[in-house]
Amino acid sequence: AGARQQVRGNCLRDNGQYGINAYQPGNGIVGLVVEGNEIVGNNTEDWETRNPGCGCSGGAKFWSVNGADIRGNWIHDNRGAGLWADTNNNDFLIEGNLIEDNDGPALFYETSYNLILRNNVLRRNTLVEGRKVAESGDHFPTGTVYLSESGGEPRVPARTDKIEITGNRFEDNWSGITAWENADRFCNSPANTSTDSCTLLVPETSRCTQPGIATEPLYSDCRWRTQRVDIHDNTFSFTAEAIGCLPGGGGRMAVLSNYGTYPKWSPYQAEVVQDSIVTDQQITWRDNRYVGPWRFVLGSVDHTVGVAEWQAEPYRQDAGSTFTAGDSAGSC
């Protein structure tokens, strides 16, 4: 895909890797429209198994795209993610799509900025990948909307200055929304899998090192930050029968990070990012409707709480939301 292209009314089916790939160095793709397509059965060659960690699969993959409207598509039965925006994408509007039965997340929004996700139906996504993770003994909350080091940033021009997730219907997915930030992943860190890329706020990778990175503005700007996320007026429903019942299994919302350890010169050691993502980075659930035995992961992968603690001080999540099936702290 290229700048100002309109991809409309196609069937993009059973391709070995992607149905659509959009990339141009320097965020050169602007004004992209993907509308009214069926994107189905892609990644037939299962690239993530052939080349683990490549980040090179799914129904549609976007890299460094500055402005995209993705609307009215049927995105289903892809091996891997349905939609995957990876590394310095910005200003995405994803609305009115039916996204279902993808092995991985309906939407993976990674190291990117400023997104509106509204009025979509997302159902039965992430069941394959979620079960695989749980069966391996890994309790990471694999979400069907996975925000990885992505957030709103007012200094990057877009139609919004946040990530807004609203008016969507989530049905029988492995889990809901995971807001994650890897404490060890930042510009110039060996843990940054987007090799040689820096944030849109710091073009020169070499600036993100000691001693400058230990103080503002580089302390904040050298990170892709999961921040300014507003999740409201959605419906989240699932049944244990639909997703199964495994230790560390589905039915979770999450806002979390890992304990910072790497590299040795990192200023983000220990619980710095874990504490910040929960309390300081303006990530809010509110006015949603829940059906089913939901649980909530806060701060770290081993801290799961029920509705009462999720809504109480100091977290104060999901004000104005409704819950059917009682407190979700118990087993499914």
Write down the domain spans for the chain. Answer: 1-76, 104-324
pLDDT for the residue 52: 84
Q: Which two tokens stand for residue 237?
A: 């429903």
What the block records as the tokens of 11 is 């069937």
Q: Is the dihedral of CA 147, 97, 80, 139 positive or negative?
A: positive
pLDDT for residue 303: 95
pLDDT tens digits along 10-39 = 999 999 999 999 998 888 999 999 999 999
* Low-confidence spans in the chain with pLDDT less than 50: 326-332
Query: What is the per-residue pLDDT for 247?
Result: 63
Q: How high is the pLDDT of residue 248? A: 61
Neighbour-count burial of 88, counting CB atoms closer than 10 A to its CB (0-12 exposed, 13-18 middle, 19+ buried): buried
Per-residue tokens: 80: 């891997």
Query: The sheet that has 83-86: what strands, in order across it?
Result: 18-23, 58-63, 83-86, 107-110, 145-148, 177-181, 252-257, 295-299, 304-305
Quote the pLDDT of residue 157.
97
Q: What's the CA gap between 255 and 274, in Å, rounded?
A: 9
Q: What are phi and psi of 240, to 5 degrees?
A: -60, -35
Taking phi over 0 as left and psi of -120 to 50 as alpha, with beta for the rest, 26 belongs to left
Alpha carbons 330 and 1: distance in angstroms, whole number: 46
Cα–Cα dist 297/254, whole Å: 4
Asked whether the beta carbons of 195 and 129 are under 8 A apart, the reply is no
What pLDDT shows up at residue 243?
Answer: 82
